[in-house]
């Protein structure tokens, strides 16, 4: 447990907003409306808002869990559950983060292959991305945060391109509001959780924040920003597509970009994908960074070398995934584990920590 | 061959030995006058001293001096900083600096008088960092003149100048100037420490020192600004930076710096804030355009031609229809030509250079298009980006920009737009990791310091410059009281 990290290596509280937001937005936003629409139809945007609210609760829980001292979740697992169970939990967390990095990298490479370079071998972009990841991680957490910051700032203008499909949309598609059953909303929320995954990085980044208690508002703003973006994309998608069309479009956001017209650009989605390289990158960096932090603490391997092992694993898995079904399977797996992480593990350690603290106080 | 009688490591042990040793150079003089009433001996390098001063101020005094001690003589010569020493290394060092050693009797001790002759050119306007507005005063090769220029601009008692000698052969004097209480002590300690740790034989120019002081010597990005403008030096000193001046160099080094400062022309401060901000933004756009214009041409024409609307595509195709090469060959050919012209222009004598540069550029450009080696659209792009690369106010940055284009062209050829994005990410990470004397290179953008933004992308009005940038981590942040400058003239519209 390193209590006194050098002050100059820590990040300002408000940067946690970019860390959380950039880790939540990933490749999912390019195609998520289809999955939600299958459950909640024209009320899908309400599902997005509900999930956003639920994640605000999760953030609140995380801050309660971390409220004492300057520990991350790895230390807390060891402290509360003992060395053996704690280590098993931590290893599971590490594998989950690694899976997250793999899923997002492979899915994005699939997007590149589907839209820009059908012939491109998977290993080339994977190798470049992972080498760049190593370069970032070698610069320390401040560099990782910097990438998160620019990963939000550089592509933020793409949000305005939603205006183009919005001009051609019929917003009456959204009516009537609230005509779905409670079960539809619940299954929609469950499905939507995959797109919101990523906030868990807070559990590991917490000790790197200067005055971590002041960062709470910024973490909430990060989730808030994610919710706004997803809601916007959802509303535009619902209004732009009819229900049947949407179900047939795997990458509905990319397809909607086709209608963007600039005087010297015809197929805007190329530019969108190019800028999406900047959105994807923080996800890979943060997930591998998180996994290497866990590995460093549990397995006592130097982060320097452990990152190399991790990127080799991610690289191997990436090139082994060759078709759409396998990638879909990985996505579903990550979504399921993420779901259990948020709806079972997190509330459980939340309750556990409250009880543990109360018991400790009494003694 | 008996040019060298002794090896360099052997040091003379007595003054006489030293005189015999130094006599091997023709400009060394050891003149003994025994005939006069007062016998004396002068030792000096004829090429280093000012003979006029010797005849006017030193010799008459010796002749008139009837007493036989160096101490008495020291009191009579009207020149400051006279030393009496018998230490051989010191005497030798002083002789090489242009001192004359005077002895009244044969012995080991000598009187050392500074009558050195300094020849340097006159002040001239800055040639590399020229500006239309603002002072036209540039540094020259003489250290004392440069220090005088700076001291005259900042007549402040806390302007400190620390000297250090670097270079085992050139013995170059290096001065670090800073304003105490404004500059951060940590930065000063760092630079002094690094200068003391330098071990090098010859220092030809401040660029030597600059490269050895940098945090990351592998980076192509300059981590110190070299400038010949005294107003830029003054401005940075006032912000809390330090300035390293080197004897024999007309460039001073400023540090720590950040990326934004490389895009600041000092003319920005002489124009109105709104105009200055506008031109600064134009400069940033120009630099971005200069780096990515030709790589984008390669990427789009090689892989993504469907990106263009059909009308624009038709123009492009018709201009490229006769060209037998792939876009990347075409681009590399033209880019190398432009760099060739630039290199040649920089080496040629100025009168030949100008004409030949223009003629060469026009002739080669037109001929290349007519011979169907390149398309005229590309010619426009290359010329524009070459022009844009010279809008950077710091010359070293210009070179960086010109260099960055080549790997980017290669990446664009390999992976199209994705390759451009990957290289962009690489440069971004590199800049994020880079520091200048421990200060983050991308500040105040990242880490975001909103308080410093008054003078980064835009130059805001001077009223808002009331605090020094946090970037320099100095103690004394306040520059002036902003209340006084806020008074606004009231008209009837403002009445209650």
Same-domain pairing of B32 and B97: yes
Q: Would you put residue B155 in left (φ > 0), alpha (ψ -120 to 50) or beta?
A: beta
Does B138 map to a domain? no
**Nearest C-alpha in A relative to B313:** A264
A–B: how many Cβ contacts below 8 A? 87
How many domains does chain B divide into?
4
Is the bond preceding B197 in cis, omega lying within 30 degrees of 0? no
Residue B464 and residue B373 share a domain: no
Look at residue B8 and tell me if it is in a domain: no
Please state, in angstroms and rounded to a whole number, the distance separating the CA atoms of residues A75 and B75.
77
In 10 A of CB A348, how many CB atoms? 10
Residues B314 and B192 in one domain: no
Both B276 and B249 in a single domain?
Answer: no
- Taking contacts as CB-CB distances below 8 angstroms, the residues of chain B near A116 are 303-304, 416-418
Q: Give the homologous superfamily in CATH for domain A7-348.
A: Amino acid/polyamine transporter I (1.20.1740.10)
In which residue ranges of chain A is pLDDT below 50?
1-4
In whole angstroms, give the CA distance from residue A302 to residue A305.
Answer: 6
> Which one of A150, A264, A270 has the shortest CB-CB distance to B428?
A150
CA-nearest residue to B418 within chain A is A274
Are both B98 and B32 inside the same structural domain? yes
Task: Say if the Cβ atoms of A267 and B428 lie within 8 Å.
Answer: no
Kindly determine whether residue A132 and residue B426, on different chains, have CB atoms separated by under 8 Å. yes
What is the chain B residue with the closest CA to A127? Answer: B422
Cβ separation B307–A267 shorter than 8 A? yes
Query: How far B417 CA lies from chain A's nearest CA (Å)?
Result: 6
Contact across the interface for A277 and B425, Cβ inside 8 Å:
yes
Report CA dihedral (B247, B253, B254, B257) to the nearest 10 degrees.
-160
Would you say residue B53 lies in a domain?
yes
Of B97, B114, B131, the residue that ends a domain is B114
Q: In terms of residue numbers, what domain contains B196?
A: 143-257
Q: What residues of chain A lie within 8 A of the CB of B415, using their CB?
A: 117, 120, 124-125
Contact B433 A143 (CB under 8 A): yes
Angle in degrees, CA B127, B129, B131, rounded to 5: 95
Distance CA A87, CA A295 (A): 10
- Which chain A residues contact residue B447 at CB under 8 A? 11-12, 15, 142, 146
What is the distance in angstroms between the Cα of A139 and the nearest Cα belonging to chain B?
A: 6
Does the residue B226 lie in any domain? Answer: yes
CB contact under 8 A, B306 and A266: yes
CA–CA separation, B73 and A170 (whole Å): 103
Q: Do B416 and A11 touch (CB under 8 A)?
A: no
Tokens linked to A55? 């994640």
Angle, vertex CA B422, rays to CA B417 and CA B428, nearest 5: 125
The answer to whether residues B173 and B210 touch, using CB atoms and an 8 Å cutoff, is no
Report strand pairing: B242-246 vs B225-227.
unpaired
Element (H, E) at B336: helix B327-347
Chain A residues closer than 8 Å to B446 by CB: 146, 149-150
Q: Could you say which residues of chain B have pLDDT below 70?
A: 1-10, 67-68, 482-488, 496
Chain B nearest CA to A11, separation (Å): 8
- The closest alpha carbon to B92, from B43, B40, B50, B25, belongs to B43
**Chain B: closest CA distance from residue A300 (Å):** 26
At residue B364, the pLDDT reads: 82
B432 and B307 in one domain? Answer: yes
Question: Residue A2 has what pLDDT?
Answer: 46
Of A150, A267, A281, the CB nearest to B306: A267
Asked if B415's CB is within 8 angstroms of A124's CB, the reply is yes
For residue A107, the distance in angstroms to the closest alpha carbon of chain B comes to 15
From B234, B257, B280, give the residue that closes a domain.
B257
User: Smallest CA–CA separation between B308 and chain A, in Å?
Assistant: 5
Tokens at B368, concatenated: 């290349």
**DSSP E strands, B228-277:** 242-246, 252-255
Give the Cα separation of A234 and A228 in Å (integer).
Answer: 10
Which residue in A116, A128, A265 is closest to B422 by CB distance? A128
How close does chain A come to B464, measured CA to CA in Å? 24
Distances (CA, A) of B419 to A319, B292, B298: 19, 12, 11
- CA pair distance B447, A143, nearest whole angstrom: 10
Query: Mutate which of A129, A153, A270 to test chain B, going by most B C-beta atoms within 10 A?
Result: A270
**Most A-contacting residue of B216, B311, B429, B440 (CB-CB within 10 A), to test interface:** B429
Q: Does the beta-carbon distance from B417 to A116 stay under 8 Å?
A: yes
- The answer as to whether B2 is a domain residue is no
Other Cβ atoms closer than 10 A to B439: 19
Spans of all domains in chain A: 7-348
**Residues A270, B417: C-beta atoms closer than 8 Å:** yes
Do B400 and B465 belong together in one domain? no
Q: Could you tell me which chain A residue has the CA closest to the CA of B300? A: A270
Q: What's residue A41's pLDDT?
A: 86
pLDDT at B353: 72
Q: Say how far apart CA B118 and CA B486 lie, in whole Å.
A: 50
B132 lies in some domain: no
B252 neighbors B146 (Cβ within 8 angstroms): yes
Residues B171 and B294 in one domain: no
Which residue, among A149, A152, A258, A283, would best test binding to B if mutated, counting the most B CBs under 10 Å from its CB? Answer: A149
Residues 6+ away with beta carbon under 8 Å from B175: B143, B147, B161, B162, B163, B164, B244, B245, B246
Burial class (CB in 10 A: 0-12, 13-18, 19+), B24: exposed
ipTM of the complex: 0.94
Angle at which helices B395-433 and B376-389 pack, to 10 degrees?
Answer: 90
Residue B227 lies in a domain: yes
What pLDDT, on a 0 to 100 scale, did the predictor assign at position A1? 38
Please report where in the chains the tokens 């008088």 appear, as a residue: B113
Closest CA to A154 of A241, A301, A271: A271
Q: What is the pLDDT of residue B484?
A: 63
Q: B105 lies in a domain?
A: yes
Q: Are residues B92 and B203 in the same domain?
A: no
Residues B104 and B157 in one domain: no
Q: Which of A62, A105, A68 is closest to A201 using CA atoms?
A: A62
Secondary structure of chain A in HEC code, one letter for each residue: CCCCCCHHHCECCCHHHHHHHHHHCCCHHHCHHHHHHHHHHHHHHHHHHHHHHHHHHHHHHHHHHHCCCCCCHHHHHHHHHHHHHHHHHHHHHHHHHHHHHHHHHHHHHHHHHHHCCCCCCCHHHHHHHHHHHHHHHCCCHHHHHHHHHHHHHHHHHHHHHHHHHHHCCCHHHHCCCCCCCHHHHHHHHHHHHHHHCCHHHHHHHHHHECCHHHHHHHHHHHHHHHHHHHHHHHHHHHHHCCHHHHHHCCCHHHHHHCCCCECCECCHHHHHHHHHHHHHHHHHHHHHHHHHHHHHHHHCCCHHHHHHHHHHHHHHHHHHCCCHHHHHHHHHHHHHHHHHHHHHHHHHHHHHHHHHHHHHHHC
Q: Is B37 exposed, middle or buried (0-12, 13-18, 19+ CB in 10 A)?
A: exposed
Query: CA-CA distance, A13 to A225, in Å (whole number)?
Result: 16
Q: Which among A8, A129, A143, A209 is the top mutation candidate for probing chain B, defined by the most B β-carbons within 10 Å of its own β-carbon?
A: A143
Q: Which of A132, A264, A266 sits opposite B429 (nearest CB)?
A: A132
Domain identity same for B431 and B462: no
Residue A327 is encoded by which pair of tokens? 């990638």
């Amino acid at each position: 447990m390193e209590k006194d990290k050098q002050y100059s290596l820590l990040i300002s509280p408000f940067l946690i907003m970019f860390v959380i937001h950039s880790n939540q937005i990933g490749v999912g936003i390019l195609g998520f409306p289809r999955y939600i629409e299958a459950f909640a139809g024209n009320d899908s945007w309400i599902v997005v808002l509900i999930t956003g609210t639920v994640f605000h609760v999760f953030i609140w829980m995380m801050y309660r869990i971390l409220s004492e001292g300057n520990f991350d979740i790895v230390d807390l697992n060891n402290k509360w559950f003992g060395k053996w169970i704690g280590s098993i939990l931590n290893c599971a967390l590490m594998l989950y983060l690694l899976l997250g990095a793999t899923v997002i990298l492979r899915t994005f490479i699939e997007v590149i292959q589907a839209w820009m370079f059908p012939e491109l071998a998977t290993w080339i972009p994977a190798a470049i991305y992972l080498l760049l990841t190593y370069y970032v991680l070698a610069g320390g957490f401040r560099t990782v945060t910097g990438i998160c910051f620019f990963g939000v700032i550089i592509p933020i203008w793409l949000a305005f391109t939603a205006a183009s499909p919005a001009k051609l949309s019929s917003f009456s598609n959204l009516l009537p509001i609230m005509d779905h059953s409670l079960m539809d909303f619940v299954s929609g929320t469950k499905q939507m959780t995959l797109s919101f995954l990523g906030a868990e990085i807070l559990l590991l980044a917490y000790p790197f924040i200067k005055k971590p208690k002041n960062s709470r508002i910024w973490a909430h703003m990060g989730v808030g920003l994610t919710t706004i973006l997803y809601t916007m994309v959802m509303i535009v998608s619902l209004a732009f597509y009819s229900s049947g069309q949407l179900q047939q479009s795997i990458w509905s956001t990319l397809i909607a970009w086709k209608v963007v017209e600039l005087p010297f650009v015809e197929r805007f989605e190329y530019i969108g994908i190019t800028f999406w390289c900047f959105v994807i990158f923080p996800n890979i960096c943060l997930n591998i960074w998180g996994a290497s932090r866990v590995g460093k603490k549990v397995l006592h391997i130097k982060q320097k070398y452990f990152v190399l092992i991790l990127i080799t694993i991610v690289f191997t898995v990436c090139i082994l995934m060759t078709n759409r079904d396998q990638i879909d399977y990985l996505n579903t797996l990550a979504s399921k584990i993420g779901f259990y992480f948020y709806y079972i593990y997190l509330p459980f350690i939340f309750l556990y920590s409250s009880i543990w603290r109360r018991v400790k106080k009494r003694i | 061959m008996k040019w060298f009688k002794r090896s360099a490591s052997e040091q003379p042990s007595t003054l006489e030995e030293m005189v015999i040793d130094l006599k091997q150079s023709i400009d060394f003089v050891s003149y003994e006058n025994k005939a006069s009433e007062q016998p004396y001996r002068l030792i000096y390098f004829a090429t280093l001293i000012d003979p006029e001063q010797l005849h006017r101020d030193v010799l008459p005094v010796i002749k008139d001096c009837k007493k036989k001690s160096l101490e008495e003589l020291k009191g009579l010569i009207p020149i400051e900083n006279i030393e009496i020493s018998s230490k051989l290394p010191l005497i030798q060092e002083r002789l090489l600096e242009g001192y004359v050693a005077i002895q009244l009797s044969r012995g080991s001790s000598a009187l050392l008088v500074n009558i050195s002759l300094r020849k340097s050119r006159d002040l001239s306007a800055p040639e590399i960092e020229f500006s239309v507005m603002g002072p036209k005063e540039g540094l020259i090769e003489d250290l004392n003149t440069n220090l005088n220029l700076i001291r005259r601009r900042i007549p402040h008692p806390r302007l400190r100048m620390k000297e250090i000698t670097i270079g085992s052969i050139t013995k170059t004097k290096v001065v670090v100037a800073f304003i105490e209480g404004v500059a951060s002590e940590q930065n000063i300690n760092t630079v002094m420490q690094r200068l003391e740790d330098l071990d090098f034989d010859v220092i030809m120019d401040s660029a030597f020192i600059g490269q050895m002081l940098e945090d990351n010597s592998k980076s192509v990005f300059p981590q110190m600004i070299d400038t010949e403008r005294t107003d830029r030096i003054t401005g940075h000193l006032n912000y809390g930076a330090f300035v390293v001046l080197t004897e024999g160099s007309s460039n001073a080094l400023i540090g720590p710096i950040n990326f934004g400062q490389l895009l600041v022309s000092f003319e920005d401060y002489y124009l109105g804030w709104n105009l200055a901000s506008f031109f600064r933004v134009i400069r940033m756009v120009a630099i971005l355009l200069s780096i990515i214009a030709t790589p984008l041409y390669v990427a789009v024409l090689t892989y993504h031609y469907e990106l263009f609307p059909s009308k624009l595509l038709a123009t492009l195709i018709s201009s490229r229809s006769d060209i037998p090469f792939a876009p990347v060959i075409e681009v590399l050919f033209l880019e190398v030509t432009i760099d060739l012209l630039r290199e040649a222009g920089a080496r040629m004598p100025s009168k030949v250079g100008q004409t030949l540069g223009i003629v060469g550029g026009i002739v080669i450009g037109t001929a290349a298009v007519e011979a169907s080696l390149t398309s005229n659209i590309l010619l426009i792009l290359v010329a524009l980006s070459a022009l844009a690369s010279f809008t950077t106010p710091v010359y070293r940055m210009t070179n960086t920009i010109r260099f960055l284009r080549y790997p980017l062209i290669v990446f664009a050829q390999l992976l199209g737009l994705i390759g451009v994005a990957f290289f962009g990410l690489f440069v971004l990470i590199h800049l994020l990791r880079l520091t200048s004397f421990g200060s983050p290179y991308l500040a105040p953008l990242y880490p975001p310091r909103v308080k410093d933004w008054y003078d980064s992308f835009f130059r805001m009005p001077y009223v808002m410059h009331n605090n020094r940038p946090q970037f320099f981590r100095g103690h004394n942040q306040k520059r002036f009281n902003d209340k006084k400058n806020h008074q606004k003239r009231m008209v009837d519209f403002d009445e209650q």
